[in-house]
Amino acid sequence: MLSYDKLGHLGVFLIFTFLILWSFNRQRHSTKLKTKSITWALTISIVYGSVLEYSQQFVPGRMTDLYDFAANTIGAIVGTIVFITFRKLSLRLVN
């Protein structure tokens, strides 16, 4: 079921995950966090998306939607791929 709603979820989580990865890679204090940034960013995004979807069942007029969760997760994965591609391209331009 591809709809504007699902594309919205995908786009928001794409940007959210990209920004998490960008911020992890910009920080200079924890090399452990920097090296495991993809794992952390995907974990944060997917857990956040699942908590948002689960909590909607407690709001009147809203319901949990498995397709929204799938769109959130796909958006997080695509955001990671975009970030990795962006980082590789920018490293090539610098060198």
pTM tops 0.95, yes or no: no
Q: Give the whole-angstrom CA distance, residue 70 versus residue 30.
A: 31
Tell me the residue length of the chain. Answer: 95
- State yes or no: pLDDT of 64 exceeds 70: yes
**Tally of structural domains, the chain:** 1
- Among the residue ranges 27-36, 51-60, 72-81, 85-94, the one predicted with the least confidence is 27-36
Domain that holds residue 76: 4-94
pLDDT tens for each residue of 10-36: 999 999 999 999 998 887 777 777 778
Mean pLDDT in the chain?
90
Centre a 10 Å sphere on the Cβ of residue 48 and count the other Cβ atoms it contains: 16
